[in-house]
Homo-oligomer: A and B are copies of this chain.
Amino acid sequence: MADVKTSDVFELLRDGSPKTRAELARSTGLARSTIAARIDTLIRLGLVAPYGDAVSTGGRPPSLLALNPTARVVVGVDLGATHARAVLTDLSGRILAEEREDLDIAEGPEKVLGWVTRTVRSLLRREKRRIADLAAIGIGLPGPVEHATGRAINPPIMPGWDRYDVPARVRRDLDVPVLIDNDVNIMALGEKHAHFPDVDDLVFIKVSTGIGAGIISGGSLQRGAMGTAGDVGHVRLRRADGVACRCGNEGCLEAVAASPALTAELRSVGEDVHSGSDVVDLVRSGNVAAIQVVRQAGRDMGEVVAMVVNFINPSVVVVGGALSAAGEHLIAGIRETVYQRSLPLATEHLRIVPSAAGERAGVIGAAAMAISHVLSPEEIERASLALQG
């Protein structure tokens, strides 16, 4: 038996355009009998299905085969500090069903992941899909994650989660591959999947209680050696001089431009605000103090985004997270500084835009992470070997 080849046959079908068995045999150089066995495996894996009938060249019409995105499904889960969201999608990433719940991540992994597995089952039931149709689950967590092992590492707002084996807990209930990453990485994947499929260099900046970035460079998510890439919240800024940051240092971007700093500043001038969404509401109501505070946060972020642009040279910077709902005031502040501080060649074709995926960026990205695992050559070989016993 030849090795690492079912995936080669699949790669030929992955573009979605239907092909005959004869075309597949010709393209791979494999014997008809080998091709037949591999197609059988892909059909049994639910990845490929017969597709209408090809135009006859005389005699029996050759049967066409094509990628079958609806045969299997994945679930993408986005766990935030105080909410959770999950979607069921097919293998093209199309959303079939969705659930959202107020859920405090600090309630710990047993409770939160219990909600996750119950929700996966309920999403499947709603769409009348069997558990056997579920190919993988992708989960985003609001803290540092070791992607390879699926563990959170010293997450500041997640008591009880440190080094907890998330995939093992989920697989106790549902025996499918479970992929874990941090929230801003899956948001970057989601924004690319949904709105920038052809962009290879995209940075997603999340502004909320903290500030972080997901970096897609050369077409791939860059996690770095320890999975901590994209930490833009703790760059030292002059305007933050002497301001204590929750990281233990002082003078960090987060200490002046994330939502706790903005609410504190607005409270000091008499506004009744307690969260990023209160700030957003004030901005939308036209409150001048709130607009000024958000604009300045944009300028502060712009200092750091300018460095990211110089270092990574993305073609798109997407700004998301709760504070980004404040709209153009934040983006305008960022643009103002970036175009002043970055080199002309790096900003010539640069777009700085608000997140279009919005609140769904995370779940779409978590599903996309699960799908790219399921359709990877390694995983297809593993699944086809398992099938052959």
Contact = CB atoms under 8 A, between A and B. Distances in A.
Most chain B C-beta atoms within 10 Å of own C-beta, residue among A34, A234, A247, A350: A234
Interface residues of A, number: 54
B311 A234 contact: no
A140 interface: no
8 contacts: A1-B29, A217-B217, A226-B345, A229-B311, A230-B313, A232-B310, A249-B341, A311-B312
Interface in A183-241: 200-201, 213, 215, 217-218, 220, 222-232, 234-236, 238
A55 B225 CA distance: 43
A127 interface: no
B313 A225 contact: yes
Contact of A228 (B236, B307, B343): B343
B226 A217 contact: no
A232 B311 contact: yes
Contacts of A144: 345
The listed residue with most B CB atoms (<10 A of its CB), out of A218, A224, A234, A307, is A224
B311 A215 contact: yes
A314 interface: yes
Contact of A222 (B235, B238, B303, B312): B312
A308 interface: yes
A43 interface: no
A228 B2 contact: no
A310 B228 CA distance: 7
B223 A313 contact: yes
Given A228-B346, A231-B346, A343-B228, A311 B313 contact: no
A103 interface: no
Nearest to A35: B29
A182 B313 CA distance: 15
B247 A343 contact: yes
Residue of A227, A232, A312, A345 with highest tally of chain B CB at under 10 A: A312
A289 to B, nearest CB: 28
A128 interface: no
Contacts of A201: 224-225
A303 B341 contact: no
A122 to B, nearest CB: 36
A256 to B, nearest CB: 16
Interface in A56-94: none
Nearest to A30: B29
Interface string A25-44: 01111110010000000000
A349 interface: yes
A15 interface: no
Nearest to A201: B225
A154 interface: yes
Nearest to A217: B222
A220 B341 CA distance: 27
A223 B341 CA distance: 20
A243 to B, nearest CB: 15
Given A226-B345, A228-B313, A343-B228, A2 B28 contact: yes
A153 interface: yes
Which of A2, A26, A232 has the largest count of B CB atoms less than 10 A from its CB? A2
Interface string A149-166: 000011000000000000
